[in-house]
């Protein structure tokens, strides 16, 4: 065969083969798509049967399957939005090689986003909005899908950073990852997405400054970065984005001034900058953005007047300038905003009057001018705003009467005129506002009666007329308002009885009628009919009769206050079944009989006040079961018997009043466990015995009265700070300098309540016998008799003193000098102060030795850490302690000195009398966690952060703590937080073996993943540990609690956030936070900061300086102001 013939045949065979391959390839591709869809179907849970036709039997009509769209015999689109699908997305989805659009939004898909999607190289639209997907955004997804135009991953559970490769999506027009847990900074590479039109990153954990690169996106029309942790100023980043229509930077921590250039963005329709830290004035130039429809600048630090030029924004529908410091009058020009629907300028410093010209705002639905300094009358013309639904003028200085014309607002649902100076009667016309749900008129000077016509407001949920001068009867007609949730008529001149018609208020949660002249009995059945009642308070009336037993066993009742009435009979034992009860106040009545033991079953009870009745019998020991009790007042009764020792187990107790009874026996030594006790009054009883030394541990005690009893012996050292009147009437009591011979008090003195006068204002004066004789009596003969008696008592008191304990440990020479950085001290002083290092002085034991409490002769209390013997060479020990002794910061424990001799190594610190954060949160079934409100927790977190940041940035060389945990957060006498145990790793003789467990004792759950694996201590590891401590501080939950289901405290917090179970995050003492309050938002911001600190990748964690900045942004108040005395701003001399 000739070569030419061979070539022709070969070409023919090649062409035939090519056709065969192409045909076979096409068949193979559709088979691949079919196989992929069937495998995707296998892992999905089809709750609605939408995938019933996805079966092998229908393979011939695959392109007609539900949600499948084909083109050129290949799957081109897959659309199954809102189909009720569960399960995960199978990796085989990457085999759909011709897929252009994937829409699975609004399902319940879990698991991660398959990285195999990056194989669908033609994919242009990816919509996985509103599922439960977790994990990170796959890097390959953004690196390889260069045809992608729309990427919507919003409302999932994604975490980590946006991959830097996002800049490779050069065709991207829409990027929406809102409402996830993404963190880190906004990637600079996003500037390469030159076609980007919509960028939505709101509701994540992004932090850092706004990148200047945003200004290089010329086609950007919508930018939403709200609800993150961004800081810094806005400056010029967005000046060149002239196509912007929506800018939402709200709910961040941005600072500086509002840029004037916003006014040059002539296409702008929405500008939201609320809840930041912006300062300065509202720029006049904003009026140049004439298309603005939504302008929200609320909750910043803006000052100056409201610009009159805003009246030129004729398209404006919402104007929010609330919660700033704006001053001056409300510009009349705002009346020109004929399209305005919402006007909020509340919580500013505005003066002058309410403009009557607001009647021109005919489209207005919500008007809030509350919490300003407005004066003058309420304009009658407001009644002409016929569309008005919300009118709030409270907390001003408005005067005059309530205009009848308000009743013409037939769409009104909310009316608040409270805390003004309004007079006259409540107008009958208010009953014409039929949709009204909230009517707040409290704290004015209104007179007359409560109009019975208000009973026609069938939608009314809140009626508060407290703090006026109203008189007459409670209108029975209010029983028609069956939607009522809260009714408050306190502080009036109302009389008569509680109407039986109120039984119909089955939705009533709170009823308050305090300080009126109501009489008669409490209707039996009232509480039972109001089945969701939470608050029933009628104190300060003339109610009589017995307490209805049906007030017991109420499932929701949390506050029951019947005090200051004329109630009689026994306390019903059924009250012990009100398991939600937190406050029970029955004082100042005529109740008799015993204190029911059943009250001990009220495990949520915080305040129990039964004082000034005629109760008899003993104090039930069962009250110890009320473990949350903070105030116990049973004074002024006829109680007898001993004080139960179990009272000392009520670790939350702050107030204990048992005075004016006939109690006997001694003070239980368990009282030393009441470490939070502030006010103790046991006066005017028949108590005896010595005062227990455990009372020395009551470091928070501010008021003490033990007068008029039969105590004897020495007064404990810590109680000597109180005035002599605290012990008067106990002639056998002694100070350590000798017997005081404290005389009996007069009857007038014995009836006094504890007051500020009973606390120390300086060093307690020592009374000598001569002074006491002169003070007590004037007669010479009686003086000689008393002097003789005192001498005898002096001998008795001396004999009662406890003998010195003997030394049981062999210790070095006692004359050796302790190296102190201030005053001199010897080892003998330390021995004596710690009782020869006695077990009774032990404060804690750690891997770095034993910590002792040392009480010097002059009353100074120190903390002495004895390191394990011989662990570090002497010269190295001296060098390290000299360096640590130079570290000074208000949130670090200060090393005052050290001692080294032979194998003994001592470190001397200031004593922290209020214990550790761990004990405050958790000891005795978390008894102390309830003591911490949100502001206190925030200050603790900020203090620890400042101390740790100082170690990282201001010490040379930097100090890595290595063991940040609640046990190492200590509190001084003022409850200032101090980070302790830093630098102790320097005293470890040999480095920790990375192969062995490097987790310090007590640090379970606080150690970062990388430290747990390698044992290496880094700043990033400290940040992680701080984040865990912050989560424990916020939630009250120990990290060690999470030991099942592969879930730690970080994962648990994320799960609660993602499932909307926000209240599960709150420590029980924070559950009363209002979801609408700023504190609720501040708490959630702190949670976000903690999650940033605990990012799995150390690179993603902020520095402690950044943490401080973010925590300071969580609250705005006087405590956030910096001063020149803040040691954080000064470098350590180390």
Q: What is the pLDDT of residues 626-673, one digit of tens each?
A: 989 999 999 999 999 999 999 999 988 999 999 999 999 999 999 999
If pLDDT is split at 50, 70 and 90, which confidence band does 384 have?
very high
Distance CA 670, CA 915 (A): 18
Going by DSSP bridges, is the β-strand pair 68-71/74-79 parallel, antiparallel, or unpaired? Answer: antiparallel
The pLDDT score that the predictor gives to residue 527 is: 66
Distance CA 120, CA 141 (A): 9
Q: Tell whether omega for the bond before 957 is within 30 degrees of 0, i.e. cis.
A: yes
The pLDDT score that the predictor gives to residue 236 is: 75
Mean pLDDT of 348-368: 96
The pLDDT score that the predictor gives to residue 1046 is: 66
Residues 6+ apart with CB under 8 A from 748: none
Distance CA 905, CA 758 (A): 43
Q: What is the pLDDT of residues 192-225, one digit of tens each?
A: 999 999 999 999 999 899 988 898 998 999 999 9
Contact at 8 Å (CB) between 902 and 943?
no
Start-to-end Cα distance in the chain: 96
The pLDDT score that the predictor gives to residue 1115 is: 64
The pLDDT score that the predictor gives to residue 27 is: 41
Contact at 8 Å (CB) between 929 and 1068?
yes
pLDDT greater than 70 at residue 774: no
Helix (H) or strand (E) holding 844: strand 842-846
Q: What is the pLDDT of residues 497-527, one digit of tens each?
A: 999 998 889 999 999 999 999 999 998 877 6
The pLDDT score that the predictor gives to residue 1060 is: 74
Query: Six-digit token pair at 111?
Result: 């698991």
Distance CA 677, CA 650 (A): 10
Q: What is the pLDDT of residues 937-996, one digit of tens each?
A: 999 999 999 999 999 998 888 899 888 999 899 998 888 899 998 888 777 644 444 333
The pLDDT score that the predictor gives to residue 845 is: 81
If pLDDT is split at 50, 70 and 90, which confidence band does 1003 have?
low
Q: Residue 658 CA to chain centroid, in angstroms?
A: 34
Contact at 8 Å (CB) between 210 and 231?
no
Which of 21-35, 211-225, 848-862 is modeled with the greatest confidence? 211-225
Residues 6+ apart with CB under 8 A from 85: 44, 45, 46, 47, 50, 51, 104, 107, 108, 109
Q: What is the pLDDT of residues 461-491, one digit of tens each?
A: 999 999 999 999 999 999 999 999 999 999 9
Burial of 154 (0-12, 13-18, 19+ CB in 10 A): buried
Helix (H) or strand (E) holding 41: helix 3-43
Residues 6+ apart with CB under 8 A from 57: none
Percentage of residues in the chain having pLDDT higher than 70: 84
CATH, range 817-910: 3.30.200.20
Query: Six-digit token pair at 282?
Result: 């509202």
3 state SS of 117: helix
If pLDDT is split at 50, 70 and 90, which confidence band does 928 have?
very low
Positions annotated as catalytic residues are: 963
DSSP class per residue in 568-582: EEPPPGGGGG-TT--
Distance CA 145, CA 123 (A): 7
Mean pLDDT of 720-733: 89
The pLDDT score that the predictor gives to residue 1062 is: 79
Q: What is the pLDDT of residues 1030-1083, one digit of tens each?
A: 999 998 888 766 655 567 888 888 888 877 787 788 777 776 667 767 788 888
The 8-class DSSP code of residue 16 comes to H
The pLDDT score that the predictor gives to residue 859 is: 78
Of 3-7, 243-247, 273-277, 393-397, minimum mean pLDDT range: 3-7
What are the backbone dihedrals phi and psi of residue 1096, each rounded to the nearest 5 degrees, phi first?
Answer: -60, -40
If pLDDT is split at 50, 70 and 90, which confidence band does 188 have?
confident
Q: Comparing 831 with 304, which gets the higher pLDDT?
A: 304
CA angle at 932 for the pair 931 and 938, rounded to the nearest 5°: 170
Burial of 996 (0-12, 13-18, 19+ CB in 10 A): exposed
pLDDT greater than 60 at residue 788: no
The pLDDT score that the predictor gives to residue 871 is: 66
Q: Comparing 470 with 14, which gets the higher pLDDT?
A: 470
The pLDDT score that the predictor gives to residue 690 is: 93
Distance CA 760, CA 742 (A): 18
Cβ neighbours around 72 below 10 Å, total: 9
Cβ neighbours around 990 below 10 Å, total: 6
The pLDDT score that the predictor gives to residue 2 is: 45
Mean pLDDT of 68-96: 93
Distance CA 1038, CA 1048 (A): 10
Distance CA 245, CA 249 (A): 13
Distance CA 332, CA 310 (A): 10
Contact at 8 Å (CB) between 562 and 527?
no
CA angle at 857 for the pair 853 and 858, rounded to the nearest 5°: 105
The pLDDT score that the predictor gives to residue 856 is: 84
Across 300-330, b (16+ Cβ under 10 Å) vs e yields bebeeebbebbbbbeebbbbbbbbbebeeeb
What is the reported pTM? 0.76
If pLDDT is split at 50, 70 and 90, which confidence band does 321 have?
very high
> What is the domain partition of the chain in residue ranges?
817-910, 917-989+996-1129
CATH, range 917-989+996-1129: 1.10.510.10
Distance CA 489, CA 478 (A): 12
Distance CA 711, CA 84 (A): 75
Distance CA 265, CA 136 (A): 35
If pLDDT is split at 50, 70 and 90, which confidence band does 753 have?
very low
Percentage of residues in the chain having pLDDT higher than 90: 57
Nearest Cα neighbor of 832 from 806, 865, 801 is 806
The pLDDT score that the predictor gives to residue 1040 is: 66
DSSP class per residue in 707-724: -SSEEEEEPPGGGGGS-G
For helices 1019-1035 and 1104-1114, what crossing angle results, to 10°? 20
If pLDDT is split at 50, 70 and 90, which confidence band does 905 have?
confident
Query: Distance of CA 210 to CAs 165, 204, 213, 214, 417, Å?
Result: 19, 15, 9, 8, 42
The 8-class DSSP code of residue 58 comes to G
If pLDDT is split at 50, 70 and 90, which confidence band does 740 have?
very low
The pLDDT score that the predictor gives to residue 1071 is: 67
Residue 393, CB-side half-sphere exposure with 13 Å CA sphere: 24
**CA dihedral for 465, 469, 474, 475, sign (positive or negative):** negative
What are the backbone dihedrals phi and psi of residue 125, each rounded to the nearest 5 degrees, phi first?
Answer: -125, 120
The pLDDT score that the predictor gives to residue 284 is: 96
If pLDDT is split at 50, 70 and 90, which confidence band does 1004 have?
low
Instruction: Map tokens 């959630």 to a residue.
Output: 1084
Nearest Cα neighbor of 909 from 972, 846, 955, 997 is 972
Q: Residue 1081 CA to chain centroid, in angstroms?
A: 8
Distance CA 963, CA 944 (A): 13
Query: Six-digit token pair at 917?
Result: 């954060």
Q: What is the pLDDT of residues 801-823, one digit of tens each?
A: 333 322 222 234 444 555 555 55
The pLDDT score that the predictor gives to residue 1083 is: 86
Query: What average pLDDT does the structure give for the chain?
Result: 84
């Amino acid at each position: 065969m000739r070569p030419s013939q061979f070539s022709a045949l070969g070409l023919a065979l090649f062409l035939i083969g090519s056709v065969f391959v192409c045909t076979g390839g096409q068949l193979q591709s559709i088979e691949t798509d079919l196989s992929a869809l069937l495998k995707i179907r296998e892992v999905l849970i089809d709750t609605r049967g939408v995938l019933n036709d996805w079966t092998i039997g229908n393979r011939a009509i695959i392109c007609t399957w539900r949600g499948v769209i084909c083109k050129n015999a290949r799957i081109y689109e897959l659309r199954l939005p809102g189909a009720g699908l569960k399960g995960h997305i199978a990796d085989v989805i990457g085999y759909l090689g011709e897929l252009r659009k994937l829409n699975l939004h609004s399902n319940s898909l879990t698991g991660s986003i398959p990285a195999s999607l990056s194989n669908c190289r033609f994919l242009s639209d990816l919509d996985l909005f509103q599922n439960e997907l977790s994990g990170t955004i796959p890097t390959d997804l953004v690196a390889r899908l260069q045809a992608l135009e729309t990427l919507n991953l919003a409302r999932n559970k994604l975490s980590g950073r946006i991959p830097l490769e996002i800049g490779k999506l050069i065709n991207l027009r829409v990027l929406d990852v809102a409402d996830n847990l993404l963190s880190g900074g906004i990637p600079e590479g996003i500037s390469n997405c030159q076609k980007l039109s919509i960028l939505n990153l709101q509701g994540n954990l992004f932090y850092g400054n706004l990148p200047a690169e945003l200004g290089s996106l010329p086609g950007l029309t919508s930018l939403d970065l709200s609800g993150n942790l961004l800081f810094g100023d806005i400056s010029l980043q967005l000046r060149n984005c002239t196509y912007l229509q929506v800018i939402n930077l709200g709910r961040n921590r941005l600072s500086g001034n509002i840029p004037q250039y916003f006014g040059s963005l002539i296409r702008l329709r929405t500008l939201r900058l609320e809840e930041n830290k912006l300062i300065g004035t509202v720029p006049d130039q904003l009026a140049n953005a004439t298309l603005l429809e939504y302008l929200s600048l609320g909750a910043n630090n803006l000052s100056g007047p409201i610009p009159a030029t805003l009246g030129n924004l004729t398209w404006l529908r919402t104007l929010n300038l609330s919660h700033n410091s704006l001053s001056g009058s409300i510009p009349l020009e705002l009346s020109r905003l004929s399209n305005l629907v919402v006007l909020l300028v509340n919580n500013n410093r505005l003066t002058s009057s309410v403009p009557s010209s607001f009647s021109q705002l005919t489209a207005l639905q919500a008007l809030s001018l509350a919490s300003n300094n407005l004066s003058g009358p309420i304009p009658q013309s407001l009644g002409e705003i016929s569309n008005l639904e919300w009118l709030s003028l409270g907390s001003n200085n408005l005067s005059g009467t309530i205009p009848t014309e308000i009743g013409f607002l037939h769409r009104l649902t909310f009316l608040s005129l409270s805390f003004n100076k309004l007079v006259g009667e409540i107008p009958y016309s208010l009953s014409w506002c039929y949709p009204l749900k909230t009517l707040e008129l409290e704290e004015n000077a209104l007179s007359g009666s409560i109009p019975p016509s208000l009973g026609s407001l069938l939608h009314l949920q809140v009626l508060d007329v407290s703090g006026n001068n109203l008189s007459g009867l409670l209108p029975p007609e209010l029983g028609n308002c069956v939607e009522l949730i809260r009714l408050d008529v306190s502080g009036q001149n109302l009389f008569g009885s509680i109407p039986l018609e109120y039984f119909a208020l089955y939705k009533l949660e709170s009823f308050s009628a305090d300080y009126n002249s109501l009489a008669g009995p409490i209707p039996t059945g009232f509480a039972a009919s109001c089945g969701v009642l939470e608050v029933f308070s009628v104190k300060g009336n003339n109610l009589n009769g017995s307490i209805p037993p049906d007030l017991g066993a109420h499932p929701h009742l949390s506050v029951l206050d019947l005090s200051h009435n004329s109630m009689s009979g026994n306390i019903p034992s059924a009250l012990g079944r009100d398991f939600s009860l937190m406050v029970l106040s029955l004082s100042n009545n005529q109740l008799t009989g015993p204190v029911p033991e059943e009250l001990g079953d009220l495990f949520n009870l915080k305040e129990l006040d039964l004082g000034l009745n005629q109760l008899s019998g003993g104090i039930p020991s069962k009250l110890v079961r009320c473990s949350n009790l903070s105030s116990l007042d049973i004074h002024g009764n006829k109680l007898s018997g001993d004080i139960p020792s179990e009272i000392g187990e009520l670790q939350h107790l702050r107030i204990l009043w048992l005075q004016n009874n006939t109690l006997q026996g001694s003070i239980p030594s368990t009282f030393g466990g009441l470490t939070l006790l502030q006010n103790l009054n046991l006066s005017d009883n028949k108590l005896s015995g010595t005062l227990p030394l455990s009372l020395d541990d009551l470091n928070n005690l501010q008021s003490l009265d033990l007068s008029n009893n039969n105590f004897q012996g020495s007064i404990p050292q810590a109680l000597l700070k109180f005035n002599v009147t605290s012990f008067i009437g106990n002639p056998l009591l002694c100070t350590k300098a000798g017997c005081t011979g404290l005389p009996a008090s007069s009857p007038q003195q014995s009836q006094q309540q504890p007051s500020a006068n009973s606390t120390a204002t300086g060093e307690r004066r020592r009374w000598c016998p001569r002074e006491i004789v002169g003070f007590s009596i004037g007669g010479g003969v009686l003086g000689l008799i008393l002097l003789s008696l005192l001498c005898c008592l002096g001998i008795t008191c001396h004999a009662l003193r406890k003998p010195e304990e003997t030394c049981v440990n062999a210790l070095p020479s006692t004359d050796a000098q302790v190296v102190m950085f201030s005053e001199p001290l010897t080892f003998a002083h330390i021995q004596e102060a710690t009782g020869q290092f006695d077990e009774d002085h032990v404060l804690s034991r750690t891997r770095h030795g034993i910590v002792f409490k040392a009480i010097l002769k002059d009353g100074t209390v120190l903390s002495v850490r004895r390191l394990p013997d011989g662990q570090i060479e002497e010269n190295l020990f001296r060098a390290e302690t000299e360096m640590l002794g130079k570290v000074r910061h208000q949130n670090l424990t200060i090393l005052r000195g050290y001692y080294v001799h032979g194998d003994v190594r001592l470190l001397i610190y200031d004593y922290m009398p209020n214990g550790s954060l761990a004990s405050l949160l958790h000891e005795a079934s978390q008894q102390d966690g309830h003591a911490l409100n949100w502001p206190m927790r925030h200050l603790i977190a900020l203090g620890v952060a400042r101390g740790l940041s100082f170690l990282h940035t201001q010490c040379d060389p930097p100090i890595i703590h290595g063991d940040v945990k609640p046990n190492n957060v200590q509190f001084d006498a003022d409850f200032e937080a101090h980070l302790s145990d830093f630098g102790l790793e320097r005293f470890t003789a040999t480095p920790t073996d990375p192969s062995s467990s490097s987790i310090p004792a007590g640090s379970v759950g606080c150690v970062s993943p990388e430290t747990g694996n390698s044992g290496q201590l880094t700043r990033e590891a400290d940040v992680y540990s701080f984040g865990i401590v912050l989560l424990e501080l916020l939630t009250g939950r120990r990290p060690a609690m999470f030991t099942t289901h592969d879930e730690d405290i970080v994962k648990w917090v994320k799960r609660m956030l993602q499932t909307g179970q926000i209240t599960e995050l709150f420590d029980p003492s924070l559950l009363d936070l209002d979801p609408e309050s700023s504190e609720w938002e501040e708490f959630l911001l702190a949670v976000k900061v903690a999650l940033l600190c605990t990012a799995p990748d150390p690179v993603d964690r902020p520095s402690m300086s950044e943490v401080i900045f973010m925590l300071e942004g969580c609250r705005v108040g006087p405590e956030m102001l910096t001063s020149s005395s803040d040691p954080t701003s000064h470098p350590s001399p180390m």
